[in-house]
Structure 1
């Protein structure tokens, strides 16, 4: 198991995209600036998608130009097509997250393209990014199964990994987009790709749909995965997934890692503060537990008030 891991925070994109009420641009900027002070080295701040498809991300340019950038942090965004890449590069996005679902059904719902069309779009995005400071970061959605089609094509997933490697993607995240994975399925899929593509750096993007998101992350750790994505407070849920639930909670995962002696480079207390800030901003309880229960290392007086947390 890796004794150090790297976490990319995706709450400001994958987390907020499903919110029913528009989160003000200044709130997003304040949250991103707070995240930039926690020790995170990668923050996905928005997506350059059509505002009619995902209205929450209609302010992509304003967010990208409004944040205070911290040296050493890579700021990323989801990019569905060449036009999105042009917009992102114009405002200085570092990491262009390109993703396609192995499942045709899900890809049609998510980005209005078949999987094959989505793979062509990645080639077009790569052509736009060539020679710029932006780099492609890969994501393969429904990598562990699809709620509309069931098991997904191993051959197609291998083609997608090969394509992303051909565009020099430094990391390829395998996404359990709708939370159908389990630890054994994580292990089988990761080990298959590690054997077929030993040069690939794989990461995991996990949702907690059925309450086993962190168990799936632990299975990835056992396989040597050291790149993970999480969402502050457990925010999120894909708008095109049935009964969507948020990503694994960043601060809960960091807490587990620290308790296990795994380094993250993240100030957990600062991260918990941001989670509470996000909860206050959205004016509703978020799924994250550590911000409610506190760290396991905290000691309490025997006469301290005992309360139930939800």
Structure 2
């Protein structure tokens, strides 16, 4: 696989979409995305159906894709979980190679997002690590609210970097993704944090799961790249993000912007036909 890791996140786009996306539509969309050549496809979650109804068919989607034989070693398949039960469901599902857990460094957000305080969430994560390892899958840890929070909870760059070091040492995940959940991270901060953590030589791959307005996206990508980050999450059209951002223009990094940047700065082999078809499908799906 390429040294640059581009992660497409249709889960993040679809889960908060106001209109229902059918199982049939997801299967068709994901089949096309699997042909593009992304490093990883973040396509579903095993969480409360009440909390995230758009993802209640994740198991069915995975089974259908597996039945059609579209999974390959070229693209990893990531799903998100919030507790041990979800992790067990994830490792039992076909096609899944990676299991992700959102570990917030904001107590308030962790309670709202997973129903657990930081201590309980850390215990869950330790248990999830064991389940994932026993299932021969890889662990991805997202450090949510990594660049500040709207609740007044303690935050500093040092706190974020301490959490990254703690997570790396205790869990040895394959990926630690720093998450700018509310889109507040300035380029200078991103550059500084990624520079320091890259120099720390953690065992995990560092990733950037950033939210931004369309006009701020490229500057954030550039700064993270200059800091040494080589793994980026995005969603076609910049769809999705976090409702707590309190700005409807803040969304995921547009994959289109990421592709343009990464192709200009590195080797990013994509199937152009599949890429163009997926962009067209996304326009039809999300309007």
Q: TM-score, normalised to structure 2's length? A: 0.89
Q: Which has the higher helix share?
A: 2
Runs of 5+ unmatched residues, structure 1? 285-310
> Displacement, 1:21?
1.7
| In 2: Cα distance, 1:32 partner to 1:46 partner | 10
Match of 2:190 among 186, 191, 201: 186
Structure 2 unaligned spans of 5+: none
1:220 aligns to what? 224
Call closer, same or farther: CA 1:18–1:89 in 2, change over 3 Å: same
Aligned to 1:94: 97
Query: Alpha carbons of 1:161 and 1:60: their partners in 2 closer, same or farther (altered >3 Å)?
Result: farther
Give the Å deviation of 1:160.
Answer: 4.8
Correspondence for 1:168 among 169, 172, 193: 172
Any residues of structure 2 matched to 1:205-244 within 5 Å, and which?
205-209=209-213, 211-244=215-248
Could you tell me which residue of structure 1 aligns to residue 259 of structure 2? 254
Alignment check: 8 A CA contact 1:138 1:164 kept: no
Instruction: Report if the CA contact (8 A) 1:194-1:200 is conserved.
Output: no
Paired residues of 1:110 and 1:240 also in contact (CA < 8 A) = no
Q: In the TM superposition, what is the alpha-carbon distance from 1:109 to its structure 2 partner? A: 1.8
Query: How many equivalent pairs are there?
Result: 279
Q: Which has the larger radius of gyration?
A: 1
Contact 1:40/1:266 (<8 A) preserved:
yes
Q: Give me the TM-score of the superposition, normalised by structure 1.
A: 0.83
Residue-by-residue CA offset, 1:263-308 (whole Å, 9 max, x unaligned): 12223553232122112123x2xxxxxxxxxxxxxxxxxxxxxxxx
Within a 5 Å distance, the mapping from 1:1-310 to structure 2 comes to: 5-10=4-9, 12-67=10-65, 68-92=70-94, 93-149=96-152, 152-153=155-156, 154-155=158-159, 157-209=161-213, 211-244=215-248, 245-258=250-263, 260-268=264-272, 270-282=274-286, 284=287
1:101 and 1:107 in contact (8 A); partners too: yes
Could you say what secondary structure the match of 1:174 adopts?
Answer: strand
**Does the Cα contact within 8 Å between 2:147 and 2:160 map onto a contact in 1?**
no
